[in-house]
Amino acid sequence: MSVTTKDLIGKIFRDTMLFNALTEPQLVRVQRTMRQLHLEENDHLFHAQDPADRFFIILRGRIKLYHVSINGAEKVLRIMGPGDSIALAVMFMEQQCYPVFATALLACEVLAFDNKTFLNILRESPETCFRMMAEMSKRLHGQLAEIRNLSMQSAPVRLARYLLANRNTGLGPGANLVRLDASKRVIASRLSIQPETFSRILGRLIGLELIQVQGRTIQIINPTALEQFIDAEQE
């Protein structure tokens, strides 16, 4: 049975840590400000330095967050998917402008919420503020761990860990398949790997008979052997 948009929105409000910090009346106030946005592939959700008057939660699709260097090089910071919130922390900044670009990697449905309403709720309730701080602290710790892993691990280890983390762990024909949700160039940027290095590592893993690659689909032939490859690279 297909999942309806109404079902997905209901799941967002049930499962998102952000909304778990709110009481029922507070949640109703936030829901009244909700707008549903549709983005086609390569559409911008926002540009860097645009006024930040809303935060967002992805309903369907994938969005990349990135910045552009002075020489025009694009650095992908995160790839966000269904259930992920975008620009939540921006509402607490003194200069309320989006610090990065956000672009759809494929057709997306996004929920947008008014910052002012949310901030007013927090100003009115210290208890809600503390619950919100706890939820954001959990998110921050996760992001710091990710940054630490990126900085301390070699490129082959980062890519191998990415493949293991994103594989289908079920049984049957789709077991241990990784379907990339973005181009290899975007994934490489996300992992802080140069595109040519990314391709060389894939070639190395293919040569070791650890993976097979067909377009954006990667088959992990032997997950245990890939884990052993990670261990050997870290010695």
Domain extents for the chain? 5-151, 153-234
Query: What is the predicted pLDDT for the residue at 1?
Result: 40
Quote the percentage of the chain above a pLDDT of 70: 89
Task: Provide the pLDDT for residue 16.
Answer: 78
Answer yes or no: are the C-beta atoms of 65 and 123 closer than 8 Å. no
Q: How close are the terminal C-alpha atoms of the chain, in Å? A: 48
State pLDDT tens for residues 10-25.
888 887 777 888 889 9
Contact present, 179 and 213 (Cβ < 8 Å): no
Q: Quick one: tokens of 102?
A: 């956000």
Q: What is the DSSP code (8-state) at residue 51? A: B
The DSSP symbol for 168 reads -
Could you say which architecture CATH assigns to the domain 153-234? Orthogonal Bundle (1.10)
Q: Do residues 35 and 111 touch, judged by C-beta distance below 8 A? A: yes
Cα separation, 163 vs 157, whole angstroms: 10
- Look at residue 220 and tell me whether its pLDDT is greater than 50: yes
Q: How many beta carbons lie within 10 A of that of residue 138, not counting itself? A: 9
Residue predicted with more confidence, 113 or 75 = 113
Question: Region 127-146: what's the mean pLDDT?
Answer: 72
Written out in words, the top-level CATH class of the domain with range 5-151 is mainly beta
Give the tens place of pLDDT for each residue, 35-78: 999 999 999 999 999 999 999 999 999 999 999 888 888 888 88
pLDDT at position 181 = 78
pLDDT classification of 34: cutoffs 50, 70, 90: very high
Report whether pLDDT(151) > 70. no
Domain 5-151 and domain 153-234, same fold? Reply is: no
Taking the whole predicted model, whether its pTM rises above 0.85 is answered as: no
pLDDT score at 146? 62
